[in-house]
Amino acid sequence: MTTYLYPQNLKATANLWLWSLRDFSIICIALLLSVLIFAQTQIFIPLVVTLCFGFLTIRLEDTTVLDFIRYAVKYFISTQQTYFWAERREK
């Protein structure tokens, strides 16, 4: 059996600079379409959305800003928190 040392025995996701390969391809295609839309119609909203997506998907240590926002929304808004109060013992 062959074991590869890098990247994690070939089971890690593919990254290109600061983004995963899937996010980088989405950013490139969206940036191309956004520039074409801006050149034809002078509407810059798709370009702003593309740049925001690019910022939110920067991957550092296998976590993105978008993942952190999802975790925060799940923890604070969408998932009910359960608290168990312990009985106080008197001596």
Whole-number Å distance between alpha carbons of 51 and 44? 11
Please identify which residue in the block is written with the tokens 């925001």: 52
DSSP state of 77: I
Q: pLDDT digit of tens for each residue in the chain (91 aa)? A: 776 666 665 666 777 788 888 999 999 999 999 999 999 999 999 999 999 999 999 988 878 898 999 999 999 988 887 878 877 777 6
pLDDT, residue 38, reads 95
Coarse DSSP helix, strand, coil percentages of the chain, rounded to the nearest 5 percent:
55, 10, 35
Q: According to the model, what pLDDT value does residue 60 have?
A: 82
Smallest CA-to-CA distance from 58 within 31, 28, 20, 29 is with 20
Q: Six-digit token pair at 41? A: 């119609």
Helix (H) or strand (E) holding 54: helix 45-56
